[in-house]
Amino acid sequence: MSLTRVHNMSISLDGFATGEPQSIEAPFGHAGQRLHEWMFATRYWDADGTAGVDDAFAQRHSDGIGAEIMGANKFGPPGWQDDPEWKGWWGTNPPFHTPVFVLTHNVRNSIEMDGGTTFHFLDAAPAEALQIAREAAAGHDVRIGGGPTVVRAFLAARLVDHMHLVQVPIVLGRGVRIWDGLEALEAAYDVEAVSSPSRVTHLTFTRKIAVK
């Protein structure tokens, strides 16, 4: 059974997964790197990092994943669609190592990168995109990689089997919120919370009823 999973999605206390405005200098806007410092401190990110609860969660990011779906706002800064040379933020060897499906109204030819990552561009609704990504994942799971608008769309379409959020103790005040339009989301999930000595709190949502 191939699951649809969200991992390491960091949010502020007020639920923003990115600040504003987003730009090539500031991919997360005024949030800067504050939403992800917990991850940079782990062994997942840095060989000298910690191997506690933050690392245990972070390492789940790639286990058993055969494809990722991401939104246009994750792939590049506003306007990347006008730059035919834009190949993502991540250099020649992006940290995905699977097919990655970028949801955008401006589709272009696929881009094969080093290390097993190929970017494909899709103008598709969540269910259709998931079907395509699942075929590419060849029996493995599909990660919904963000940003928050895309995660929210997949949650609203009831397509997410597992979600890992990381609540960082800051109040961003503005940006893109994960929670909007998701009233009663908890009805479909077992929700667990565990606070870390790093001061973040990991929230996991595990779908109650297994889907085929």
Q: Which is nearer to its own copies, 171 or 209 (CB)?
A: 171
Q: How many residues does the chain have?
A: 212
Position 138 contacts its own copies (CB under 8 A)? no
Are 153 and 70 contacting, i.e. CB atoms less than 8 angstroms apart?
no
User: Minimum distance between the CB of residue 183 and its own copies, rounded to whole angstroms?
Assistant: 3
Contact positions with its own copies (CB under 8 A) in 154-183:
167, 169-174, 177, 179-183
User: Minimum distance between the CB of residue 128 and its own copies, rounded to whole angstroms?
Assistant: 26
Position 21 contacts its own copies (CB under 8 A)? no
Q: Which is nearer to its own copies, 138 or 194 (CB)?
A: 194
Q: Residue 74 and residue 78: Cα distance in Å, rounded?
A: 10
Calculate helix-pair angle for 148-156, 126-137, nearest 10 degrees.
100
Counting residues that bind its own copies (by CB under 8 A) gives 28
Q: By CB under 8 A, which span of 38-46, 63-71, 118-126, 192-200 interacts with its own copies? A: 192-200
User: Minimum distance between the CB of residue 178 and its own copies, rounded to whole angstroms?
Assistant: 8
Q: Which is nearer to its own copies, 38 or 119 (CB)?
A: 38
Are 107 and 176 contacting, i.e. CB atoms less than 8 angstroms apart?
no
User: Minimum distance between the CB of residue 117 and its own copies, rounded to whole angstroms?
Assistant: 33
Binding region for its own copies (CB under 8 A)? 13-15, 167, 169-174, 177, 179-186, 191-195, 199-201, 203
